[in-house]
Structure 1
Amino acid sequence: MKLKKLSVILTVLLLFAAAMPLMAQDKIIREDIEWVDVYMPNTNNGALPRILLIGNSITRGYYPEVVKLMDGKAYVARLSTSKSLCDPALAKEIALIMSYYKFDIVHFNNGLHGWGYTEDEYKKAFPAFVKAIRKGAPKARLMWASSTPIRTYADAKILDPRTDRIRERNKIALDYVTTQKDIKVDDLFATVIDHPEYYRGGDGTHPLQNGFSALAQKVAAELSALLESK
């Protein structure tokens, strides 16, 4: 009888242990408003390399100028989304978009959403984020872009406290991508951190047009160099 009870207890414990990873994955923290914005130009033309920019509203902001700067060099598409890389829905969005076209370069960024997740959770999720990109575009060359800082609404010279978390997330991502010998780095954080004038009068998160222009020029320069290195 005792052996039977012990067997039941062990069975319950094993089932609970097996369910723990699933329970951890069930922690999905989303914002009150979630969105995804995809733009795919020149879908019926294959004369030039095709580039996908994965990011958020910052990516969406510098995207139009990147397209102009890359004119004649590549077709540039974008997947802008509010999904954090800790959210399994992001991998589904990436898989869906990448199922439509072959991309030669993927420029990716994710760090300004998912504040409900800790940096430890961000670190654990980052490899899966890269894996999802590799799975969707196995032959594409990859470039990771650091996330940009956030400034206070009242004074652009003062950094929002979340910028400390952005620095940590950038370090987590950089530490990982540097172990992947084939991933290039585009440091967008460094491009704007010393330029509060890019944000003065704005909302603190999104730069003004001069800031978006600086980011676009940096992205286009890095992409052009990568194309020329082939």
Structure 2
Amino acid sequence: MNAPPSATSQEPDPAFRPIEDAPGLPRVLLIGDSISIGYTLPVRALFRGSANIHRPPVNCSSTVEGLASIEEWLGAQRWDVIHFNFGLHDLKYVDAQGRMVAPDQGRQRVPLEAYARNLRTLVARLKKSGARLVWCATTPVPKGAHGRVAGSEGDYNRAAQKVMEENGVAVDDLHAFAAARLAEIQLPRNVHFTPSGSAQLAECVAASIRAALPATGKRAVR
């Protein structure tokens, strides 16, 4: 993935800093790549005083990393809502060493059939957590984005939609939200978004989380 504009190799992203739960409020886990890293802090701000918004302190990358790390990310805590995405790191093209390359110089990191299979396994595990699940559709790949084919997220989103329908998982169509205003919120020739764009994505993400939270706004008892 093209490097997100705010990331540096010298200091951890502020979105990775752990938070201390406010007692009695619902616990929400965001799982996703650098797109989700970009909207983590604005989502957290939108829920200040009403929900505890957590995320793993890493770029969650592809479904391969998801399968390897899901137990660590879930931990021993209970979650009320889990909002999750995988896709941009699955559909990207890599060489034999796993480095992102132009599409004509490599292969997709996770082919479509394997992506759907991995998602089914991940959803089965997430359902066991007892949390309400919200799948977040993968945002658009524009023309000129390095290591990806423009529009290739469509096939991956359709495969994911089928998995979510099979499992009764709610869908946050962040793809449609972003596509309707892409020139305004996305960086040119880049899958990432401007800070203002990430803040707009956060509004859409927050709406889907609110819809999934317990009606009382308090932590679910399980």
Shorter-chain-normalised TM-score: which range?
Answer: 0.7 to 0.9
Partners of 2:17 and 2:154 lie apart in 1 by 29
Unmatched 5+ stretches in structure 1: 1-34, 155-159
Aligned Cα root-mean-square deviation (Å):
2.6
Alpha-carbon contact 1:191-1:214 (below 8 Å) kept: no
**1:24 counterpart residue number:** none
Deviations 1:196-217 (A, max 9, x none): 12124x5511111221111100
Aligned residues: 185
- Residue 193 of structure 1 is matched in structure 2 by 179
Change (3 A) 1:129 1:203: same
TM-score normalized by the length of structure 2: 0.74
Q: Deviations over 1:94-120 (max 9, x none)?
A: 201222421111001000103322112
Instruction: Tell me the percent identity.
Output: 28
Match of 1:74 in 2: 51
Q: Return closer, same or farther for 1:132/1:91 CA change in 2, 3 Å cut-off.
A: farther
Aligned ranges for residues 47-58 of structure 1 at < 5 Å?
47-58=24-35
Asked whether 1:172 is paired with 2:159, we answer yes
Q: Which runs of 4+ in 1 moved over 3 A?
A: 35-40
> What are the ranges of 5 or more consecutive residues in structure 2 without an aligned counterpart?
1-11, 93-108, 217-222
Equivalent residues in 2 for 1:1-230 (5 A)?
A: 38-43=16-21, 45-79=22-56, 80-85=58-63, 87=64, 89-114=65-90, 115=92, 116-135=109-128, 137=129, 139-153=130-144, 162-181=149-168, 183-195=169-181, 196-200=183-187, 202=188, 204-227=190-213, 229=215
Paired amino acid for 1:224: R
1:114-154 deviations in Å (ceiling 9; x for gaps)? 3322112212221012123234x2x1110000000122359
User: Which of 1 and 2 has higher RCO (CA within 8 Å, sep 6+)?
Assistant: 2
Equivalent residue for 2:102? none
Instruction: Tell me the distance in 1 between the aligned counterparts of 2:150 and 2:215.
Output: 33
Mean CA deviation greater in 141-150 or 122-131 = 122-131
The answer (yes or no) to whether the contact 2:116–2:159 under 8 Å persists in 1 is yes
* TM-score, normalised relative to structure 1: 0.72
Q: Secondary structure at the match of 1:177?
A: helix
**Structure with greater proportional helix content:** 1
Q: Which amino acid is 2:120 matched to?
A: P
- Find the aligned partners of 2:88 and 2:114 in 1 and give their Cα distance: 14
Match of 1:23 in 2: none
2: distance between equivalents of 1:58 and 1:192?
A: 11
Is the 1:40–1:76 Cα contact (8 Å) retained in structure 2?
no
